[in-house]
Amino acid sequence: MFKIAVLPGDGIGPEVIEEGLKVLSAIEDKYKLKFDVKKYPFGGEAIDKYGVPYPEETKNACLSSDAVLLGAVGGHKWDDLEGDKRPEAGLLALRKSLGVYANLRPAVLYPPLKEASPLKNELLQEGLDILVVRELTGGIYFGPRGTVAIDYGFKAYDTEVYQTSEIERIAVIAFEAALKRKKKVTSVDKANILDSSRLWRKTVEEISKRYPDVELNHMYVDNCAMQLIKNPSQFDVILTSNMFGDILSDEASQLTGSIGMLPSASLREDKVGLYEPIHGSAPDIAGTKKANPLATILSVAMMLEYSFDLIDAANDIKDAVNKVLEAGYRTFDLGKGIILNTQEMGDKVVEYV
């Protein structure tokens, strides 16, 4: 029996999580499975209750689970807290404590949603199916940092730092993923400026020798930010650091025009994973029933696939989502169609599962 720690979080987090769990139940029924699902406080909710974003109880539960399903965290209410007391600090601590160094963020254009993409249609002829593989537990997110008083004001610093082993393991994830896709890895760095990027490039180059069937090319991050817009269909797998991945995965997802649709998985070697929609907590629409639960529902599908090896069940969910879209059902963010609210969309997916 797989154990799942569920962290609904803040804003629309609990609303979309509800629908994800609904679909998970439908899978339990269909496949006669039983998951051990329990909810724990996390993020702003946990700050309000316990003064910290990632309480011990939650941490213990996550560390003893096979997978963690997260809604979203953060909100204006907690914006003025100090760095290490904010919801985001909880998210970083969660990722680090689980050791989930490989963040997979697919940016896929669903053909029925082509019109929602901000790009001109001629750029979308060949579709858009990019997998961003972002290093998640290293780099400038976790390197030495500080703020010191100087003669005039302050000096503040953060350190981008990578070692060979960290780069090797994330590169392996990217090449393995590419083998199951279009066999192309674009490694993104700023090797014309950064020492850490030069080590990144050299190490990725080394790993690529183990994958003669995968084509590797290197791209500077500034150029990648352009190429994503200019010619997005040139990309298959984008492999990059924590910071660059944060920026480029958001850019890539926006190209699909429907970030409310996009799931993510963060993994380590033993298949334990953290699953979350890539969208934020959207406090402005919380409680209005407008949130799109599909990103969370598709995160559940990723969980079934990557952590539990339940490929058929995962495909059922993905197929159901496709059919719901093809039938013309939409949430508010997706534009024209038969508009459903959060719960109705969850129910509709359950119906097709």
Ligand X SMILES: CC(C)[C@H](C(=O)O)[C@@H](O)C(=O)O
Least gap, CB of 9 to a copy of itself (angstroms)? 15
Of 84, 115, 147, 193, which lies in the binding site for ligand X, with binding defined by CB under 6 A? 193
Q: Mask: binding to a copy of itself, 252-271, rule CB under 8 A, as x and -? A: -xxx---x------------
Q: How many beta carbons lie within 10 A of that of residue 60, not counting itself?
A: 12
Of 79, 168, 222, 309, which lies in the binding site for ligand X, with binding defined by CB under 6 A? 222
198 binds a copy of itself (CB under 8 A): yes
- Token pair, residue 245, equals 């991945």
Angle of helix 164-179 versus helix 195-208 axis, rounded to 10:
50
Least gap, CB of 315 to a copy of itself (angstroms)? 29
**Residue closer to ligand X (CB basis): 28 or 88:** 88
**Residue closer to a copy of itself (CB basis): 12 or 23:** 12
247 binds, among a copy of itself, ligand X, none (CB under 5 to 8 A by kind): a copy of itself
Query: Among the candidate windows 55-63, 178-186, 197-205, 317-325, which touches a copy of itself by CB under 8 A?
Result: 197-205
231 to each of 123, 180, 200, 247, how far by Cα in Å? 7, 22, 25, 18
Catalytic residues: 141, 190, 222, 246, 250
Residue 66: closest CA among 261, 235, 272? 272
Q: Environment class of residue 231 by beta-carbon count within 10 Å: exposed (0-12), middle (13-18) or buried (19+)?
A: exposed
Q: How many CA atoms lie within 13 A of 117 on its CB side?
A: 24
Give me the residues paired with residue 146 across strands. 157
**Strand pairing report for 129-135 and 237-240:** parallel
Q: Mask: binding to a copy of itself, 87-106, rule CB under 8 A, as x and -? A: -x---x--------------
246 binds ligand X (CB under 6 A): yes
Distance CA 302, CA 110 (A): 17
18 binds ligand X (CB under 6 A): no
46 assigned ligand-binding residue: no
